[in-house]
Copies of this chain bind each other. A is one copy, B any other.
Amino acid sequence: MEQEIRQINFAFMGFGHVGRAFARLLINRRNWLLKEYGVEWKITGIATKSHGTCIDHAGLPIRKILGSWKRHSNLENFHNGPVCASHTDFIRQCGADVLFEMSVLDLSGQPAATYIREALGAGLNVITTNKGPISTHFRALTKLARLRDVELLYEGTVMDGAPVFNMVRQNLPATRIRSLRGILNSTTNYILTQMEQGTPFESALEYAKNAGLTEADPRLDLDGWDAAAKLSVLIQALMGATVKPKDIERSSISEETGKIVRAAVRRDRRLRAVARAYRQGGRVIGKVELQELEIFDPLAAIRGLSNILIINTDTVRELAIVENNPSVDQTAFALFADLVSLLE
């Protein structure tokens, strides 16, 4: 049976660890995409903050770009198309059907929200790992996507490659989420569980920084902003309430936290940075707080970089999903899973 081949063009906004891991995954799954979905793809544009921008409507030589990638690589060398005055100009000129938005977290959600709006407005589907714009501009962006009849997908914004949004949307029909709780930030969980074993705060933080685990600004992790942005996306996408990161009560971890961690261990309990959301009257309340948990609490068993999300529903009661020691490849997989949803 002859299958019609669909040609799809991709553009990348951002080409850091996640973008490059995703490009490698796309290459590895080229045959699979062709066989399962009859899809041939090319990357027609890559825009970055510090490595320049390139467009080639015939398709960029992505293997060559990856193969020769260095800290100071300049993408302009691969440019073969219209001159772009800005990133919004890039979006209009790149000739893509899908924009993968993978720029770094900024609490304001900008400039990423502007790029996503621009792309949706121009009729591009958008797939993002960026919790900044999704948490701060959820309603406006999802509404615009519906209006333009394109998709806005964001599985990678929470728990990397673990299917959170896709699981609820695709596997839990007619289900209302009453409340949820989890550990959503790997850096603070890593530091807390290191401190349990006696490692000082500074050494644990240093290790996390060197391993590339922290956000560009580690205060975003330590002050609970990263967890708050993720919780905000969960609340808006799964509980239907507009709760932005700034509406979420947060607590910070610091060197002082070490004492509380060790006191908890002496009582055979564990300190965890718990993100939770619950309904109160017609509202949803979101909090990221340090809680001392019983040793048998499923959150107490989450150590190191692992994450957990427990949802309480009116259909399957409590369901937990745990991601063990994720890496950048898991975030790249979230983009891939969203792409496959788009193709269905």
A residues within 8 Å of B by Cβ? Answer: 29, 32, 36, 160-163, 166-167, 170-174, 295-296, 298, 300-301, 303, 310, 315-327, 329-330, 333, 336-337, 340
Contact status A320-B321, CB under 8 Å: yes
Q: Are B174 and A170 in contact (CB under 8 A)?
A: no
Q: Are B162 and A337 in contact (CB under 8 A)?
A: no
Q: Are A171 and B171 in contact (CB under 8 A)?
A: yes
Query: Mind listing 28 A-B residue pairs with CB under 8 Å?
Result: A32-B173, A36-B174, A161-B316, A161-B317, A161-B319, A162-B316, A163-B167, A163-B171, A166-B171, A167-B167, A167-B171, A173-B337, A174-B336, A296-B303, A298-B322, A300-B301, A315-B329, A315-B330, A316-B323, A316-B326, A317-B323, A317-B326, A318-B323, A320-B320, A320-B321, A320-B322, A320-B323, A321-B321
Given A166-B171, A167-B163, A322-B322, check contact A315 B333 (CB 8 Å).
yes
How far is the CB of A182 from the nearest CB of chain B, in Å? Answer: 12
Query: Which chain B residues border A167 with CB–CB below 8 Å?
Result: 163, 167, 171
**Closest beta carbon of chain B to A205's beta carbon, Å:** 23
A298→B301 contact, CB < 8 A: yes
Beta-carbon nearest neighbor of A339 in chain B: B173
Q: With the chains together, A160 CA to B29 CA distance in Å?
A: 32
Closest to A320 in B: B322
Given A296-B301, A320-B322, A322-B322; A315-B174 close (CB under 8 Å):
no
In the complex, which residues of chain B have a beta carbon less than 8 angstroms from the beta carbon of A327?
Answer: 317
Contact residues in B for A340 (Cβ distance below 8 Å): 173-174
Complex copy number for this chain: 2
- 5 new A-B contacts, CB < 8 A, other than A161-B319, A298-B301, A310-B322, are A36-B174, A160-B316, A166-B171, A174-B340, A317-B324
| Chain B neighbourhood of A318, CB < 8 A | 323-325
- A171: chain B residues at CB < 8 Å are 163, 166-167, 170-171, 337
**Given A317-B326, A325-B318, does the pair A337, B172 have CB atoms closer than 8 Å?**
yes
Leading 6 A-B pairs by shortest Cβ distance? A163-B171, A318-B324, A320-B322, A161-B316, A173-B340, A301-B301
Task: Select A319's contact among B29, B298, B321, beta carbons within 8 Å.
Answer: B321
Using A171-B171, A173-B340, A301-B298 as known contacts, say yes or no to A333 and B321 having CB atoms under 8 A apart: no
Closest Cβ of chain B: how far from A8's Cβ, in Å? 15
Q: Taking the nearest CB of chain B, how far is it from the CB of A21, in angstroms?
A: 11
Nearest opposing residue in chain B for A327, CB measure: B317
Q: Evaluate contact between A319 and B173: CB separation under 8 angstroms.
A: no
A323 to B160, CA, bound (A): 21
Q: Do the beta carbons of A330 and B303 come within 8 Å of each other? A: no
Query: Of A29, A36, A173, A324, which is in contact with the most chain B CB atoms at under 10 Å from its CB?
Result: A173
Kindly identify which residue among B298, B300, B330, B336 contacts A173, using a CB–CB cutoff of 8 Å.
B336
**Cα–Cα distance between A295 and B296 once the two chains are bound (Å):** 9
Q: Which residues of B contact A161 (CB under 8 A)?
A: 315-317, 319
The residue in chain B whose Cβ has the minimal distance to the Cβ of A35 is B174
Closest to A301 in B: B301
